[in-house]
Amino acid sequence: MNYSIAIYGGPYSDQSAHSALHFARAVLKREHSIQRVFFYHDGVYNSSALVSPPQDEANVPAQWQELAKEHDIELVVCIAAAVRRGLLDEKEAKRYSKATHNLADGFTLSGLGQLIDAGMTCDRLITFGA
């Protein structure tokens, strides 16, 4: 079965990103596939290159990067939600005349069409967060 996941909560503001990560690992362990993880609303904070949790806490954004790289999973971040929250890739940083960008490697900014596409092309679209 082919899954996509939508995450609406930040990596440390609630359990949604952490629960989604556990779900993704379970899906992959059962030899299913995950096409895309779409980060929306405060979920876009999972894509920040500046996240620096204490050593005794999980680095949820880094874990998403590792999982995506290992299993060829798209990590798509809603561009409107990201820009509104100050998360920019290099192109958007230039567009808005910002000194730097802070979107972590492996994440891509894109529109809501990617979420709609995931719902139409995957067997299941699972949502975490409100």
**pLDDT tens track for 47-84:** 999 999 999 999 999 999 999 999 999 999 999 999 99
What's the chain's average pLDDT?
Answer: 97
Q: Which of 77, 78, 88, 115 is catalytic?
A: 78
Amino acid present at 84: R
**The domain spanning residue 45 has which CATH number?**
3.40.1260.10
Is 78 catalytic? The answer is: yes
Q: 34 lies in which domain range?
A: 2-128
- pTM to 2 decimal places: 0.96
Q: How many domains does the chain have?
A: 1
